[in-house]
Amino acid sequence: MLATATSTARSTRATSTARSTQRWIDEVTASLVTGQYVDPRSAKKPFKEYAEEWRAIQPHRPSTAKAVAQHLRCYVYPAWEKRALGAIKPGDVQSWITSLTTTHKLAASTSRTVFNTVNAVFRAAVRDRMIPHNPCTDAKLPSVPRKKVVPLAVEQVRTLAEEIPRRYKGLVLLGASTGLRPGELFGLQLRHVDLLHATVSVEQQIQQTAKHGVYVGPPKTARSHRTVPLPRMAVDAMKAHLRDFPADGPEGWIFTAPQGGPVVYTHFMDGSWRPACAKAGIPKGTGPHALRHHYASLLIKHGESVKTVSERLGHTNAAMTLNIYTHLWPDSEERTRAAVDKAYADQSADAQPQVDEAA
Q: Which residues contact 71 (CB under 8 A, 6 or more apart)?
A: 113, 114, 117, 118
Q: What 8-state DSSP symbol labels residue 355?
A: P
Of residues 305, 63, 23, 33, the one with CA closest to residue 71? 63
**Residue 146 CB partners (closer than 8 Å, separation 6+):** none
Which residue, 215, 192, 193, is CA-closest to 203?
192
* 212 conformational bin, left if phi > 0, alpha if psi -120 to 50, beta if neither: left
Residues 281, 159 contacting (CB under 8 angstroms): yes
Q: Cβ distance 131 to 125 under 8 Å?
A: yes
User: Where exactly does CATH 1.10.443.10 map onto the chain?
Assistant: 154-328
End-to-end CA distance of the chain: 110
**Sign, CA torsion 227/232/234/236:** positive
Fold of the 154-328 domain: hpI Integrase; Chain A (1.10.443)
Domain 42-127 has CATH 3.40.50.720: no
Q: What is the pLDDT of residue 357?
A: 47
Which pLDDT does position 359 carry in this prediction? Answer: 41
pLDDT of the chain, 359 residues: tens digit per residue: 545 555 555 556 656 666 666 564 555 555 544 555 567 788 899 999 999 999 999 998 888 898 999 999 999 999 999 999 999 999 999 999 999 999 999 999 999 999 999 999 999 999 999 999 999 999 999 998 878 888 999 999 999 999 999 999 999 999 999 999 999 999 999 999 999 999 999 999 999 887 778 889 999 889 999 999 999 999 999 999 999 999 999 999 999 999 999 999 999 999 999 999 999 999 999 999 999 999 999 999 898 999 999 999 999 899 989 888 988 877 666 667 777 888 888 665 555 555 554 44
Burial per residue of 280-304, b for 16 or more beta-carbon CB atoms within 10 angstroms, e otherwise = bebeeebebebbbbbbbbbbbeeee
Is residue 63 a contact partner of residue 207, using CB atoms and an 8 Å limit? Answer: yes
Burial profile 238-255: b = 16 or more Cβ within 10 angstroms, e = fewer:
beebbeebebeeeeebbb
What is the distance between the alpha carbons of residues 217 and 161, in angstroms, rounded to a whole number? 27
Residues of the chain with CATH 1.10.150.130: 42-127
Cα-only R_g, the chain: 31
Cβ distance 167 to 121 under 8 Å?
no
HSE value, Cβ hemisphere, 13 Å, CA-based, for 24: 6
Is the Cβ–Cβ distance between 289 and 182 less than 8 Å? yes
Are 168 and 269 a contacting pair, CB within 8 Å? no
